[in-house]
Amino acid sequence: MDDAACEVRLRNGDAVWIRPIRDTDAAELQRAFALMSEASQYRRFMTGTPRLTDSQAAYFTAVDHVDHEAYVAHSPDDETWIIGVARFIRYPSAPDDAELAVTVADSWHGRGLGTALLRVLTARAIAVGVKRFRAEMMADNEAVLSLLRSAGMTDETVSGDVASGHIVLAPPS
């Protein structure tokens, strides 16, 4: 088990493991993305993206853990089977801010996994000096809107089909 992995409990008491992504996760990330419903794939990238290309998968897994960080979740039974990802990518021109994205495998929706991933990612972001998450999502994506509102999203705006907002990250008091 990865030293940085942590066990978290979902709403029903089930345990999952969350750990930083590794460059060896690329093929598994592609597999997990291909298994998502078309609706979830669309909501993640807000474009029709039926598969992650090799170069996208390499980019999403070769993170530096400071400007680009991602955590994956897996069930305790299989460390290679990715069931969720939360990621931030710092804006080079505004390094206090980072773009946020969270994705959970369809069969795991609604159990608290997105919330757990966001909590772990937030702690890491604060540790490396990110001060705000910015997020963009389809305006009808109630699941992520609920998730981000619970995490303190403010300044919500809607432009056409796309909503955006930000979360101010507070260091632990």
Q: Which residues bind ligand COA (CB under 6 A)?
A: 40, 43-44, 101-104, 109-115, 135, 137, 141-144, 146-147, 150
When the beta carbons of 52 and 102 are compared against ligand COA, the nearer one is 102
Which residue, 76 or 110, is less far from ligand COA as judged by CB? 110
CB of 85 closer than 8 Å to CB of 117: yes
Both tokens of residue 88? 């931030």
Q: Nearer to ligand COA by C-beta: 63 or 144?
A: 144
Min dist CB 119 to ligand COA, Å, is: 10
What is the phi-psi region of residue 115: left when phi exceeds 0, alpha when psi lies from -120 to 50, beta otherwise? Answer: alpha
User: Taking the complex as a whole, how short is the minimal distance between the CB of residue 23 and ligand COA, in angstroms?
Assistant: 23
Taking CB atoms, the residue at the shortest distance from ligand COA is 114
Gap between the Cα atoms of 64 and 125, Å rounded: 12
